[in-house]
Amino acid sequence: EVVLTQSPGTLSLSPGERATLSCRASQSVFNNLLAWYQQKPGQAPRLLIHDASIRTTGIPDRFSGSGSGTDFTLTISRLEPEDFAVYYCQQYETSPMFTFGQGTKLEIK
């Protein structure tokens, strides 16, 4: 089973700043099938990025994903007030299918 470790646990930044979130896998992610989600309190997660770097329809271009193998990054180029939330990475493998990281909380400094 691939284990995903996200860092940092909490990131404190100000609107307008750049955010860099990391997701490291315990072994290579199959075909770089790595996704990123945003979750706000009381809401379901929202898919931002799939296949490591492809933005889902409707996601602003300030969100970008990169990486391959075991190291992946979600970058938010200029933080907007609505971007402060918890972010999760998720990978797909043939068994046990989907696993998620523990999350990074992005909070307002």
Q: Which of 98, 107, 108, 109 binds other proteins (CB under 8 A)?
A: 98
Which among 22, 102, 24 has a CA at the least distance from the CA of 70? 24
40 in Cβ contact with 25 (< 8 Å): no
18 in Cβ contact with 78 (< 8 Å): yes
Contact between 55 and other proteins by CB under 8 A: the answer reads: no
Q: Which of 3, 5, 40, 54 binds other proteins (CB under 8 A)?
A: 54
Contact between 65 and other proteins by CB under 8 A: the answer reads: no
Give how many residues touch other proteins by CB under 8 A: 23
> Is residue 30 helix, strand or coil?
helix
Which among 53, 45, 57 has a CA at the least distance from the CA of 74? 53
- The smaller minimum CB distance to other proteins, of residues 67 and 103, is found at 103
Which among 107, 72, 61, 58 has a CA at the least distance from the CA of 86? 107
Q: Which of 14, 16, 41, 44 binds other proteins (CB under 8 A)?
A: 44
* Range in contact with other proteins (rule: CB under 8 A) among 18-26, 59-67, 68-76, 97-105: 97-105
User: What are the residues binding other proteins (CB under 8 A)?
Assistant: 33, 35, 37, 44-47, 50-51, 54, 56, 88, 90, 92, 95-103
